[in-house]
């Protein structure tokens, strides 16, 4: 494993000392937001984690090396390259390592590298899931499979609302992945706080969330856990507005034949344009909110290790 994995010294020191560490993905930098908001958001998220007493570990593949923790210059490098960087999921990591290439890690790939490094908590925006029309396309994100096999607690704002949320929850249930609602009994829908779908259990404090994940680890379960944290009320979008934008973006993606890894970046970009940029600001704020909860939860986990 060490043949391909680089752990940033600050991260390695924190892990060795039993201090809280929070993993962060890099696809949101290269494929989720435009320059320069992508770099600004990445730095802001790391700052929030530090402010809450934890050490950030942004994860990516650079020159074929799996990186658990990036330098500022490396984050800027990914941000400027944007979608020219490979969007890297589980299947891509070995090839990128072998070819000494760059990759921006998805939720799935970030979980893999985090687990390799010994990081238990990961903050992101929203996970991938079952795409609308998956009964025909079979387009189901590898994020869901990774949650079933890799022991990392993922804090997000729910599945991206460009997806079929009901089928995403059904898939997670089939895979035995526990879905927590943070201070809510309902699955948040990324840009909005509610979806109409219930979660498996509710946690009202970081300590409760940490206790549930610690119990899962003690029981020897092989997979992870998903915590869904609603977007702050101030930044929550009108469901009618965002759903209309998503419907339009999905129709355009079908008409243009957008498939595979290109689907999510295409939809997020079109939703941003259709909403006049409002969705981008909401996206940034929910990521910051998730980072704070993840750092607080990592701190609670560290108290018991």
Supply the residues annotated as catalytic: 25, 160
Crossing angle for the helix pair 142-149 and 165-174, nearest 10 degrees? 30
Structure tokens at 212: 């549930």
Q: Give residues with Cβ within 8 angstroms of 85, minimum separation 6.
A: 30, 31, 78, 102, 103, 104
Length of the chain: 305
d(CA 298, CA 206): 8
CB contact at 8 A, 104 and 59: no
d(CA 294, CA 125): 12
Residue by residue, DSSP assigns 164-225 as: -HHHHHHHHHHTT--EEEET-SB--BTTBS--S-B-SEEESSHHHHHHHHHHHHHTT-SS-E
d(CA 99, CA 77): 19
Q: How far is CA 119 from CA 14, 55, 158, 171, in A?
A: 10, 11, 21, 25
CB contact at 8 A, 61 and 98: no
- Burial category of 254 from C-beta neighbours within 10 Å (exposed 0-12, middle 13-18, buried 19 and up): middle
């Amino acid at each position: 494993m060490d043949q391909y994995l680089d752990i940033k010294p600050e991260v390695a020191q924190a892990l060795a000392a039993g201090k809280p560490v929070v993993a962060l993905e890099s696809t949101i930098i290269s494929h989720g937001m435009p320059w320069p908001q992508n770099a600004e958001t990445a730095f802001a998220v790391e700052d929030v984690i530090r402010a809450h007493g934890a050490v950030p570990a942004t994860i990516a593949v650079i020159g074929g090396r799996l990186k658990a923790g990036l330098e500022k210059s490396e984050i800027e490098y990914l941000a400027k390259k944007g979608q020219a960087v490979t969007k890297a999921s589980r299947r891509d990591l070995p090839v990128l390592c072998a070819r000494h290439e760059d990759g921006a890690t998805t939720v799935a790939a970030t979980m893999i590298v985090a687990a390799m490094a010994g990081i238990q908590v990961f903050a992101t925006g929203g996970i991938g899931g079952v795409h609308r029309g998956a009964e025909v396309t079979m387009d189901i994100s590898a994020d869901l499979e990774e949650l079933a096999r890799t022991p990392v607690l993922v804090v997000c704002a729910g599945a991206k609302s460009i997806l079929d949320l009901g089928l995403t929850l059904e898939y997670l249930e089939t895979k035995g992945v526990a879905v927590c609602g943070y201070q809510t009994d309902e699955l948040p829908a990324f840009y909005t706080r509610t979806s109409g779908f219930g979660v498996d259990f509710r946690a009202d404090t970081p300590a409760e969330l940490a206790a549930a994940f610690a119990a899962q680890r003690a029981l020897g379960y092989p997979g992870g856990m998903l915590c869904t944290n609603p977007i702050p009320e101030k930044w929550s979008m009108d469901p009618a507005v965002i759903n209309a934008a998503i419907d339009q973006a999905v129709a355009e993606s079908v008409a243009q034949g957008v498939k595979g890894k290109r689907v999510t970046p295409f939809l997020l970009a079109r939703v941003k344009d259709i909403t006049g940029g409002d969705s981008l600001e909401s996206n940034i704020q929910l990521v910051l909110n998730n980072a704070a909860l993840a750092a607080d939860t990592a701190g609670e986990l560290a108290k018991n290790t």
